[in-house]
Structures are given as structure tokens and as C-alpha cells.
Amino acid sequence: MTTKTYAEVWDLDVFFKGGSSSPELREHLNALTVKLDSFEQTLSTFDVPKNESDADKIASIIEETKQVAENLSQAGAVVGCYLAQDTTDKQANLLQGEIGSLGARFSSSMLVVQQQLSRTEDSVWAALMKDKRLKEFSFVLNEWRDEAKELLSEKEEDMITALGVDGYHGWSQLYDLLVGDVKVRVTVDGEEKEFSVGQASNLSSHSDGSVRKESFEALEQAWTDKEEFFAKTLNHMAGFRLAVYKKRGWDSVLKEPLDMNRMKQETLDAMWGAISAHKAPFVKYLKRKSELVGADAMHWYDLDAPVTESTQKVSYQEGAEFILKQFGKFGPELEKFSRKAFEDEWIEAEDRPNKRPGGFCTGMPLSEQSRIFMTYSGTMSNVATLAHELGHAFHSYALRPVHWMNRQYAMGVAETASTFAEMIVADAAVKEATTADEKLALLEDKIQRSVAFFMNIHARFLFETRFYEERKKGIVSASRLNTLMEEAQREAFGDGLGDVHPHFWASKLHFYISRVPFYNFPYTFGYLFSLSIYAKAIEEGSSFEEKYISLLRDTAIMSVEDLAMKHLGEDITQHAFWEKGIALCVKDVEEFLTLTSSKG
């Protein structure tokens, strides 16, 4: 096969010519505003459905919703790309504000639809759900109705939303402000310099142990100095959330996050149960790693320490070809799709100034395309990130034949296709490493992910659950928060830690995101869920791909329990399912222990 040379800069002109000042984009936004006006007009006369004949009206509202949503997503995604490729693009910034306001209006309209539907009488509802135009949306429609039923009256919910702007989300914004204000001084390469929190946190993987320790201690001290501010912020955010739950009659703090992830409590319990039962190999890994970095125990500040230097450089072209080759072994569709993404310039990978950090994949629903953003600097870890984002794009591709209503998947399954694609490439990279050091570095990279999901995220979950229980009884002091965090870390790391990080609760943004409660367990869920799919794929070979695609197609129209039962024949409320994914990670640890047995 002759291979093209792949461009490292994406093509955004196919959507709207001329970047953020594109007249085509202006026209699109004007048309979108008109569509939204008319949608609001439609809803102003939308009453509670009274009988079966209202199916017509509901079906047409769904079509209008889809129209607005897709036009809105397309605009938002394109403008997001403009800003990512050039953070100084002022026009794109203005457009983002405009699209944000349109988005807020759209959300309010959606709430009206939900509330009207929730008031439908049961017998009328049952008849409506049998209508051939509505049947295919019954999962989502039922979910909307159930959700709305568990809320307070429209008036009360409106008041909560209004008060939440200052009384809830405001605390979350205050957190960002407080963190932005924290500066620490650390000596790097013999020179003392000032660092922001983000910069100082990046020193956690510095090759010099004293830099790692010093930056960690400086940060701990900074959190200690301001612990009362962070404790107050956290307590008030949690207090607001708990007060709302109490008014709605919800007794478990996990109700909302579980509903959002379409997951049962039993599933969550089984997942953590299986993880807790298999900590021993990871504790062994931590011990070996502490020996490799020359420490007496595994201290928090050495968790990210490099054990070896990975020096291998891979050009973008080589990286792309490596990905395509490995994807091809899994299945023809994934390979064909990804080749097209490279050839059609869907990927922005060039290393140049003014790009925002990190990587993402975004969908353009009107064009049935995706765009991937990252900065490629030639490491194997970049190659894995590229594969990860291609996995997200493949998920959207698999969902192409599915109606917009049935594409809104939750966070837990969102990382399934991406982690799966990343695993294919990360695994192959370890196998094909040319030097022992390279192999070790890549293997450690994989194990680090398991430690993050099974230990670090577990600690966050344990801490958050316990904190919320205590918060129900009153304000939890900063020193008590430190104790809760220390206990959670010791437990989650299987007593494998030396020095812990008691102020982690102050340092981690995820505890302060008001819009998503318990921003932790869905990560672990997505990781292990995709590992189990990966284990199945290895077992079944390339014939598995068809099943995989049909699983992806169903990710937004059933609970995670039903999804796993239908496509994998697995009961995920049981430990046994989760243990299969964990077993793959344990294998990596065993290989690591063997490779390093002489070095310890």
C-alpha cells in the first residue's frame, strides 16, 4: 500500500471558510438564532400531553430539538477548535460567549420539554411510548420523565437554579481564584524560582528526587497556609448540594452521580470491591518503585518519578503508521476510519506556540466528521494520546446512523472507545520496544494508569463519601479533612505509602466542580469497562469488531448494566466481571517486577 504523507495541521475551512471571522460562520449563527427563536415559540404553546394523538406534536418537537442541538454543537465545536489552535484569537473568544448564551437558552427550553412530559398521566404516557415515531426514543424520554418527577415543583427548582448561581457555583469560581493566587518557590538546577500550582505540580515527574520532594513540600505548606479558605469553600459547596438533596428527598449523595452515569449502586460496589481485593500486586509495584528511586518507602512525591529515561523519538508519520498497523490487527473498520482521519486532515498535531495544552476530540454533527487536537512532540506517550483521541472519534463514527437523541452517552462510557484504542497501541508499543529501558518506561506508563484509577481515584472516592457523611452533621474542620484524606490514601494505596498528601482535598480541582458531583468513579469505571472489552477482543480476534461497533451504538440508550449484558453477556454487578480487567493490569505489574528484579 502506498502511504501518503500526513499533514500535521487540521482543515477547519471545510466547515466555515476563513476562521473566526468567516462570513459563513456568521450566517450560520444568525440562522441558528432564528431556529432557537422559533423553537422557543413552539414551546410557549406546548402543553402537557393529554392523549395519544399528541405523539405528533412530541415527535415534531424532538425533530426541532435535534436541529437546534446539532447546529449549536457544530458552531460550538468549530469555535472551540479556533480557540485551541490559537489562544489569542479574540474574535473566537467573542463567538464563544455568544454561543454560550445560545446554549443557556437551549438548556432552559429543554427543561420546559422535560417538565411538560413529566406531567403526562401514566396511561397516556404508556400509549405514547408505543407510538412508532416515539418508540425509538423511549429510553431517553422515560429517563427525562423519571428525572423530572424526582425534582421539586417548577417554581422551587427555578429558585434553586437562581440561588445556585451565587450560593453554589460561585464557590466553585472562588476556588479557581484561590488556586490562581497560590505561588511557591522551588530550587531547580541550582536556581530558586517562583512557580504557579500547575507548574509546581509538573515537577512531580522531575528526574531529580530533591526537586520532587521540595516542590511537594512547598505545595503542602502553601495549602496549609490557606487551608481555612479551602475548607470553607468545600464545606459550603457540599452544604448547598446536601440541602438541595434533602429538599428533594434524596438520602444518598451517590444518587445524582449514579443517575448521571446510568449506573446502579451494586455495580459501583462490585467495582470497588473487586479493586480492593486485588491491591497486593500494585503494592508490590510501589515497593519496587521506591527501591528503584532509592527511597526507604513509596512517598507520595515519588509516585510520578521516572524509573528510566525513554529517549526514543517517533516522527508524526511513523507514529501514524504505527497506530494504523496496530488498529488493523484489531479490525478493518477502525483502521480504515483512522486512515481517513489522517488523510482528510482531521488532526491538529503540530508543535507551535499559542496552542492550548492537552488534547481533545470534538464532533461536527452536521458534517459527520470529528476533529482531534493535540501537540505532538515525538514521544510514545504522544502516540498513545493520538490513539486515544482517534478512539473517541471512532465512537462518534459508530454512532453516525443513530438519531441525535440517542447519542448522548454518559461520562463513564465516554472513555470506553478511547481507552480501548489507547490500550491497543500502548500494548503493542511495549511488545515492540527495541531496548530494555524503552520497554520498562512504556510498561511503567501503563502501570501508572492502573495506580491512578485503582488507588488515587479510589482514595478520592473514599474521601468524598466519608466527607459528605460527616458534612451532613455539620461543618468539617480543615484538620479533620486532612485526617479523612490521609486515612483514605492509606487505605486506597493498600498501606503501600510512606509520606502521604493530607491536603490533596485542597489541591484537587475535581472536588470543586459544582456541575458534576463525584467527579471520580466514572474514570475508573471507563478504564476497567474498556479493559474488559479489550480482554474479549484479544480472545475473539478480528471478528470481534462488529460486536464492538454495535456496543458503541448502544452506549446512550441503556443502563451500563444492560449494555454489558446485551453485548458482552456479562453481569457487571458481580466482582467476577471487574476482575478480568484487573487481571490484565496485574500482568503488567508482574512483567515489571521481573524486568526490574536485578535492579532493586
Angle at 287 between CA 441 and CA 453, to 5 degrees: 65
The yes or no reply on residue 555 touching Zn ion (CB under 5 A) is no
CA-closest candidate to residue 15, choices 66, 69, 77: 77
Start-to-end CA distance of the chain, whole Å, equals: 46
Q: Name the DSSP letter for residue 132.
A: T
Rounded CA-CA distance 398/235 in Å is: 42
Relative orientation angle of helices 436-451 and 380-398, to the nearest 10 degrees: 50
Of the two residues 362 and 418, which places its CB atom closer to Zn ion in the complex?
Answer: 418
Of the two residues 411 and 535, which places its CB atom closer to Zn ion in the complex?
Answer: 411
Contacts by residues 148-154 (CB-CB < 8 Å, ≥ 24 positions apart): 148/114, 148/115, 148/117, 148/118, 149/118, 150/248, 150/250, 151/248, 152/247, 152/248, 154/115
CA 29 to chain centre: 28
Of the two residues 348 and 486, which places its CB atom closer to Zn ion in the complex?
Answer: 348
Give whole-number Cα distances, 284 to 209, 438, 455, 500, 596, in Å.
21, 21, 13, 17, 12
| Contact string 407-426 vs Zn ion (x = CB under 5 A) | -----------x--------
- Pairing assessment for the beta strands 347-348 and 369-373 based on DSSP bridges: parallel
Of the two residues 235 and 416, which places its CB atom closer to Zn ion in the complex?
Answer: 416
CA 271 to chain centre: 18
Element (H, E) at 455: none
Shortest Å, Cβ 415 to Zn ion: 5
Shortest Å, Cβ 526 to Zn ion: 8
Which three three-digit cell numbers place residue 582? 484487573
Of the two residues 233 and 418, which places its CB atom closer to Zn ion in the complex?
Answer: 418
CA 600 to chain centre: 36
Element (H, E) at 194: strand 191-196
Which three three-digit cell numbers place residue 102? 445560545
Neighbours of 332 (CB within 10 A): 11
Shortest Å, Cβ 418 to Zn ion: 4
Of the two residues 71 and 418, which places its CB atom closer to Zn ion in the complex?
Answer: 418
Contact 457, 526 (CB under 8 A): no
Classify each residue of 138-149 as buried b or exposed e, where b means 16 or more C-beta atoms within 10 Å of its C-beta.
Answer: ebbbebbbeebe
Contact 197, 176 (CB under 8 A): no
Of the two residues 219 and 341, which places its CB atom closer to Zn ion in the complex?
Answer: 341
Rounded CA-CA distance 307/302 in Å is: 10
Shortest Å, Cβ 382 to Zn ion: 15
Of the two residues 390 and 442, which places its CB atom closer to Zn ion in the complex?
Answer: 390
Shortest Å, Cβ 388 to Zn ion: 6
**Which residue's CB atom is positioned nearest to Zn ion?**
418
Of the two residues 85 and 418, which places its CB atom closer to Zn ion in the complex?
Answer: 418
Of the two residues 118 and 418, which places its CB atom closer to Zn ion in the complex?
Answer: 418
Q: Which residues contact 223 (CB under 8 A, 6 or more apart)?
A: 182, 230, 503, 506, 507
Shortest Å, Cβ 449 to Zn ion: 12
Position 259, amino acid = D
Which three three-digit cell numbers place residue 64? 426541532
Q: Where are the beta strands (DSSP E) in 359-439?
A: 360-364, 369-373
Q: Which residues contact 323 (CB under 8 A, 6 or more apart)?
A: 338, 383, 386, 387, 390, 425
Rounded CA-CA distance 374/14 in Å is: 20
Neighbours of 352 (CB within 10 A): 11
CA-closest candidate to residue 578, choices 323, 269, 367, 293: 269
Shortest Å, Cβ 390 to Zn ion: 11
Shortest Å, Cβ 389 to Zn ion: 7
Shortest Å, Cβ 419 to Zn ion: 7
Of the two residues 256 and 389, which places its CB atom closer to Zn ion in the complex?
Answer: 389
Which three three-digit cell numbers place residue 47? 402543553
Of the two residues 186 and 413, which places its CB atom closer to Zn ion in the complex?
Answer: 413
Rounded CA-CA distance 394/338 in Å is: 8
Of the two residues 394 and 467, which places its CB atom closer to Zn ion in the complex?
Answer: 394
Of the two residues 212 and 407, which places its CB atom closer to Zn ion in the complex?
Answer: 407
Subset of 179-238 contacting Zn ion (CB under 5 A): none
Shortest Å, Cβ 565 to Zn ion: 25
345: alpha, beta or left? (left if phi > 0; alpha if psi -120 to 50): left
Shortest Å, Cβ 361 to Zn ion: 7
Shortest Å, Cβ 422 to Zn ion: 8
Shortest Å, Cβ 360 to Zn ion: 8
Of the two residues 420 and 512, which places its CB atom closer to Zn ion in the complex?
Answer: 420
The count of chain residues that interact with Zn ion, using the rule CB under 5 A, is 1
Contacts with Zn ion by CB under 5 A lie at: 418
